[in-house]
Structure formats: C-alpha cells, structure tokens
Copies of this chain bind each other. A is one copy, B any other.
Amino acid sequence: MQVAFLLYERFTALDLVGPYEILRTLPGVEPVLVAKAVGPVGDERDELRIEARRSPAEVTGPDVLVVPGGLGSRDLLEDRELLDWIAAVHEGTEWTASVCTGALLLAAAGVLDGVEATTHWLARERLAELGARPVEGRVVRRGRVVTAAGVSAGIDMALELAALTHGRAAAEATALMVEYDPHPPVAAGDLGRAPAGLVAIARELRRRPAVVAAWARRPLAD
C-alpha cells in the first residue's frame, strides 16, 4: 500500500509527520514524500527541512494521498500543475486525506466540491470560498475523503485510516507503539471552549511571531 505525502514550501511539519509516523508503522505500507522539486522543502519556520524523494510525475497511483497544511498552502491555490496532479491521483486512491489547511488544496483541486470537510479553525471561511462545506469536527470522513482539523488532528485521522485499511488490531498496536494515550497538560486545544482572550493570543502567534515575545508571560485576560 503506497501512501503519498505531499510536501511544499511552508508546510506545517507536524501535519505531515503525525500521519507519517502512524501510517509508516503499518505492515506493507510504503510511504513516499512527494514535491514538485525533489530535495529539501522548508517548513513554516524554514528551520526544519524535509527531503522530498519523488516528483509528482513519479507518483501516479498511490493508494492513499495525505496533504498536510501550512501557510504555504495559500500560495498553491492556483497552481494548476499541482492541483491537476491531486485531482488525477484522487481518481485512483482508496483514501484521500488532508490535515489542517491541506483541505484548501483538496478543495482547489475540486476534490471537495459540495463535500463536508474540516480544516484549521482559522481557514474555515477560505475553505467555503473554495467550494467545500466546512463543518465542525476533528476528523470528518465523507466517502473516501477524510479531512482533519488543525495540525495535531492528523494523528487521530491517521489512526482512523489505519483501522480502515489494516483493521482495528493494527491501529491499536500502532497506537500502543507510539504510546498515543494523550494527557494534554493544558486543556485549550478546542476553539469552541477557548476564551476570547486566548483566541486573540493564538492569532498573534501565527501572524506576528517576531513581535509577540513581550506578552508571552502575561496572564490571560479571561
């Protein structure tokens, strides 16, 4: 079972590596890292660079496609060459999946036309503009398309995929091997329960990372 992971400049590293770590552990899985240019691809911070091993032309029939999110996804929404590859590959996949704003790329490729899907909470409006029907949910499965919410949700998604492709025992064994028994030390990962002050801080984290050091130690407003 070939699982293709798409890389592009300014991807979010955990969007990719969470699902990679789960799926590559499954028996019989061949993971392949794909990008338009073979070679190192920088993450949002451009400190972490992961090597793409193959070009899209070399990966034409993966069984599973996983598209991670990242700030760079916005730069590719009119990249017909890449979007056509996603659309073509999707025709033959068993499962097509996205994490976070990877859903924007699936939508731009036409994979999510009128389909319910999830994405990072910051990108829901953009997802709707691209023709999908954003719904709340950490992992949303419609037909053979699976979308995950922001970043860490890709791990949950990949375990769900593992159960679908390899059976529940294999998914459970993988969860045990990566000790996926999360105990978040802060319970703040869900937008629906986040106070307004926290949402404002979170937005600044991404938008102005260089100028927010000053507030780092201040308490939450509410």
Contact = CB atoms under 8 A, between A and B. Distances in A.
B181 A217 contact: no
Copies in the complex: 2
A105 interface: no
A144 interface: no
A174 to B, nearest CB: 7
B17 A174 contact: no
**Which of A163, A171, A189, A191 has most B Cβ within 10 Å?**
A189
Interface string A142-159: 000000011111011001
A135 interface: no
Contacts of A199: 176
B188 A173 contact: yes
A174 B13 contact: no
Contact of A152 (B50, B138, B180): B180
A126 B202 CA distance: 40
The A interface is mostly helix, strand or loop, or mixed, namely: mixed
Interface in A176-222: 176-191, 194, 198-199, 201-202, 204-206, 209, 212-220
Given A28-B216, A151-B21, A173 B205 contact: yes
A58 to B, nearest CB: 14
A160 to B, nearest CB: 5
A65 to B, nearest CB: 16
22 contacts: A12-B21, A14-B18, A14-B20, A14-B21, A25-B206, A27-B205, A48-B51, A100-B179, A150-B178, A151-B178, A159-B184, A159-B186, A169-B218, A172-B201, A173-B188, A173-B204, A176-B199, A176-B202, A178-B189, A181-B187, A182-B182, A182-B184
Interface of A: 12-14, 16-18, 20-21, 24-28, 31-33, 40, 45, 47-51, 53, 100, 120-121, 138-139, 149-153, 155-156, 159-160, 163, 166-191, 194, 198-199, 201-202, 204-206, 209, 212-220
